[in-house]
Structure 1
Amino acid sequence: MSENRRRKREEVELFEVDDSQMLDPEDDGKDRKPGRVLSAIGKVFLTIIVTLVILCGGIYALMCVVVYGPSRTAQEQFVMSLRETSAIGFIANWFFSEDEVKAIIEKNSIKDTDVITNTSLVTMASGTDSSDESEEQSQDIEIVDIKGTTYRGKLMIIKDPSRVFVGTVPQFFEGDGKVVAKIAARYNAVGGVNGGEFVDGELTYTAMPVGLVMTDGRIVNGDTATRCHVTGFTKDNILVVGNMTGQQALDMGMRDCVSISSSIGPFLIINGEAQDVSGVGGGLNPRTAVGQRADGAVLLLAIDGRQANSLGASFADLLYIMQQYGAVNASTMDGGTSTQMYYEGSVINTPYSPTGPRQCPTAFLVK
């Protein structure tokens, strides 16, 4: 083949077009765009679904390792941590029957007691009267960073116990309560932590407390006859913990108190004696506690949990912390997403909630 003929043939091939690739002059491409968009969206959703399936599968596999692994302690800690949450407690029943779960809870808890605080064992240090202006109020409060193997949090030490009281939402009703910061603002308080239990079941009412609540020596929730799991302060500013009726609380001179069931907020220390801890002493979760030293100083504790840098604390951990800081009486408050500590305009711990601290009906506040 001559050079000229070869070149002509190449030129013909360059201009040959496949009929299937030719554009319809009336087709402007608009009809193909919706299909392409839907295809892209489908791929994105498919990727998300596959990722979630892999992630959930990995989490489930990890749970299986913990549950069926050789460590009985890890297994029981896992079950306790789950069952102490209101949202995902049912997951424990994926691996154990209800009877088995109940047995694990019974084996790993702090036992309840009929012992009540003996107020004569607390001797107030001199200069704890809030009317004494010789000491600046700002010097009366100390904030301490708390760290442990599985947890971190904040401890507020208030030297003058007369500054600590129970604050509430304006009205108890079947609706939403307020975060501690807003309850504190209602009383112009400088700090505080969340308080007692509220209605939380098939329906949740964060503005409706459970059990006995007293403020300024008056019963504002509950009655004189029902026995409740009570934590509060007398008119002599002594922290009292114990199971009692509203009438017993009045007879003891209680000025402010809240209630919480023993399974959610067990007593930690009474009259200098640590309460009976069995097993791991609860799961690892965010926790709140209130205590008092023999000199009258009040300890407000908030432990972060369910986070990468702070899994949480057990009830046994709270007891240990309170002992380390000299508490002679101490009790657990509501925990989980409710745990929050407020001080001078800010929430100073890291509550476990993407939307911020949970609303509550009551709080222990500092004037």
Structure 2
Amino acid sequence: MVLVALLLLLFGTVTVICTGPSPTARDVFVTTVMETSAAKFLARMYYSEEEIESIQKKNAVREAGEVTEVSPSFQFEQGSADKDEIELVEVSGATFKGRMMIVHDPSRIKVAAAPSFGLDKEGLRIEEFVENTGAVAGINGGGFVDTGGMGRGGEPLGLVIQDSKLLHGGLNETSTVIGFDQDDRLIVGKLTGQQALDMGLRDAVAFGPVFIVNGKAAEISGSGGGLNPRTVIGQRADGAVLLLVIDGRQPSSLGASYKDCIEVMLEFGAINAGNLDGGSSSMMIYQGEVVNVCASLYGSRRLPTAFVVM
């Protein structure tokens, strides 16, 4: 009876949001659930695909359309912190709480990948990526096939580059790439597999959108992605890498919008930043401990890739 009551309360609340007088509440709800793998049906119960598409277009991100600029004479600005230092800082906003990890040596950031990819394969949990690589920290990486929220984490979406080798994605296939080159600079933007290799990317995954490129923030309209758990990676001018994980789908932290994430990254000095897979995949581990609250009811999810800190 308790379960039935909770379900009735849930659908009653959704009905009020979707049919009530507030377009803002409606837009936040639709953009939020349409970013999930399993809850899209809640929006489709009340709106047609055309109506959903219209709402999403009004509440979207407009990327700069650039790729991180790299020059032969590139050098990071002089930083004041010890290169071996790792900082863990709490962040918060009106609707979210999370953690920012600052890794002052960018050469320590690597992509960890599952042993093999495929729809019939299983990915690894963040804890396993960290343990298998002997890393001190890790966050989730790129996207993966996750039909109905039941994906096994074995098939990435887009390219995966590890140790300068293209593990997944075609040479002529374009992805929104987020990764590091041989000079440990964070590269973000749309690239083919061949372009990514030609730029010397050593470790990269695919997801998006790009939040900041060459110091320019993406333009966000409306609720921009809704309120969800988020994982974002960025880099400062001094080379320090910013790893942000936002908790979501909890009473104490509903989640962050794209705009929220951009504001946090800019506050911490990011000049390039990209959105990684989020939702129930969002997780951060540091020194053997999970330091955020995972939105998944079943604990950490199986994933094809992760960013680890060696």
What TM-score results when the alignment is normalised by the length of structure 1?
Answer: 0.80
CA contact (8 A) 1:153 1:303 kept: yes
Unaligned runs of 5+ in 1: 1-47, 129-133
Amino acid across the alignment from 2:309: V
Q: Does 1:156 align with 2:101?
A: yes
Please list the CA deviations of residues 135-167 of structure 1 after superposition, one character each: whole Å capped at 9, or x if unmatched: 583xx1000001111100111000111111111
Partner of 1:224: 171
CA contact (8 A) 2:83 2:105 kept: no
Partner of 1:303: 246
In structure 2, how many angstroms separate the alpha carbons of the residues matched to 1:135 and 1:99?
A: 53
What is the RMSD computed on CA atoms of the aligned residues?
Answer: 1.9
In structure 2, how many angstroms separate the alpha carbons of the residues matched to 1:268 and 1:78?
A: 22
Percent identity between the two aligned chains: 44
Offset of residue 113 of structure 1: 4.8
Q: Does 1:196 align with 2:142?
A: yes
Q: Which aligned pairs between 1:2-151 and structure 2 lie closer than 5 A?
A: 48=1, 51-120=2-71, 123-126=75-78, 135=82, 137=84, 140-151=85-96
Q: 1:122 to 1:297 in 2, by over 3 A?
A: farther
CA contact (8 A) 2:152 2:302 kept: no
Offset of residue 127 of structure 1: 7.3
> SS at 2:62's partner residue?
coil
Q: Does 1:242 align with 2:208?
A: no
> SS at 2:31's partner residue?
helix
Partner of 1:177: 123
Unaligned runs of 5+ in 2: none
Amino acid across the alignment from 1:340: M
> SS at 2:227's partner residue?
coil
Q: Which has the larger radius of gyration?
A: 1
How many aligned positions are there?
Answer: 307
Aligned counterpart for 1:280 among listed residues 214, 223, 226: 223
In structure 1, how many angstroms separate the alpha carbons of the residues matched to 2:248 and 2:70?
A: 33
Amino acid across the alignment from 1:155: M
Q: Does 1:255 align with 2:202?
A: yes
CA contact (8 A) 1:123 1:294 kept: no
CA contact (8 A) 1:192 1:300 kept: no
Amino acid across the alignment from 2:121: G
Offset of residue 278 of structure 1: 1.3
Instruction: Pick 1 or 2: higher relative contact order, CA cutoff 8 A, min separation 6.
Output: 2
Amino acid across the alignment from 1:346: E
> SS at 1:295's partner residue?
coil
> SS at 1:358's partner residue?
coil
> SS at 2:102's partner residue?
strand
Aligned counterpart for 2:272 among listed residues 329, 339, 359: 329
Offset of residue 77 of structure 1: 0.1
Structure with more of its chain in helix, by fraction: 1
In structure 1, how many angstroms separate the alpha carbons of the residues matched to 2:24 and 2:255?
A: 16
Amino acid across the alignment from 1:103: S
What TM-score results when the alignment is normalised by the length of structure 2?
Answer: 0.94
Please list the CA deviations of residues 221-254 of structure 1 after superposition, one character each: whole Å capped at 9, or x if unmatched: 1121111111000000000001011111111111
Please list the CA deviations of residues 12-63 of structure 1 after superposition, one character each: whole Å capped at 9, or x if unmatched: xxxxxxxxxxxxxxxxxxxxxxxxxxxxxxxxxxxx2xx3333322222222
Partner of 2:294: 351
CA contact (8 A) 1:160 1:298 kept: yes
